[in-house]
Structure 1
Amino acid sequence: GTEQNGPHMVLGKHNVRVKVLSEKIALALGDALVAPVMAYVPEGGISPPTAHMRYPGTISIPDQTFQQMLEYAARSFKLHGFRDIVFLGDHGGYQKDEQAVADRLNREWASAPTRVHALPEYYRTAATAYAEALRQRGYPNDEIGTHAGLADTSLALAIDPRLVRRDFLRSARAPGVDRASEGVTGDPRRASAELGQVGVDAIVAQTVDAIKRATARR
């Protein structure tokens, strides 16, 4: 998706992140291909603006439009012979859309060998195993954050340092200060590529395991 990430991080963070992580996942699996990233996803309402659409730079599409994109991408892959199609969503707002499309197509294709998998492990790991690893290293929840904070920014630095404007990172506001006007939840000032690599490793490992379980031949 294309959304605001505070003044210190690029709008296309999710798009870059899912491309890099999915390639690592595919390499670990050894028998997977990565489709092009869908850069536009549901990010909130437009009139009136809600969620990330309250901040400049965000681009949103309706849930139904996104579901149709997913559906017809999956139909295309099935036509060309793929038997397992995996949706990896880097943003929490459209996980339900991925599951809805997977459920709908799996019902339709019940007698066919093709299956669609909407795996929550990819997205969930950042909020569970990765966040817990940061807490064990002494970082509090209000610093780890849930959007553009320590965890999110560290992941970006591990993926590609060019995603983060370090001059803005150093001047980010301290904990306890309301960052709502900047679209930041958490404190990114102590973010590092080393911390982000912890998240990269966890996301790749847990997603690979989830895909192997989901695609074990029935």
Structure 2
Amino acid sequence: MKAVVLNCTLKPSPQPSNTGALADVVASYLRDDDVDVATFRLADLNLPPGVETDMGDGDDWPRVHDAILAAEILVIASPTWVGRPSSLAQRALERLDAMISETDDTGRPVAYGRVAGVVVTGNEDGAHHVIAELAGGMVDIGFTIPAQAWTYWHLGPGPGPDYLDDTKGHEWAHSTGRTMAANLVAVARALAESPLPAPS
């Protein structure tokens, strides 16, 4: 089984990424369950705006798209900015939108049979809102969202330390991430055994 993690931090490499650090915890739990995990840090890629799979010369999205199609699990990891997903998380949803019109040999949208989850970090409120926006978008595209397919780390309203600066709340975020990984794998396996039907 394979998984793809989209790290939607606004910080390009080699800057430390709080979002990437928590996403790596979930990825480690997935690997413990024999899942091969590939991570893309979107800030390091050229991703033109648009709702097509390939926006032309220099577009890095096609290789991300190919990796998602080769995987059973997708995780979108986003920081919270002004109470919302990052602009790169929104960009990812917009580029994923092209998959709605892409079908497999049975006529099903290519996202069918794939599961998705969300990781969120920030030092302000808004984690559940970010989870709802990203999960809702992925459901529209055709992904299945298992129960409790998310984890987050937030310190509450206002400025404060980042995930990498403070261990407060890590135990909860990590145990929730462990449940998230287990549920993603369980539902992915169930869908492999009993696929969703093509839309009528």
Structure 2 length as normaliser, TM-score? 0.47
Structure 1 length as normaliser, TM-score? 0.44
User: Greater CA radius of gyration, 1 or 2?
Assistant: 1
Q: Which has the higher strand share?
A: 2
Q: Which has the higher helix share?
A: 1
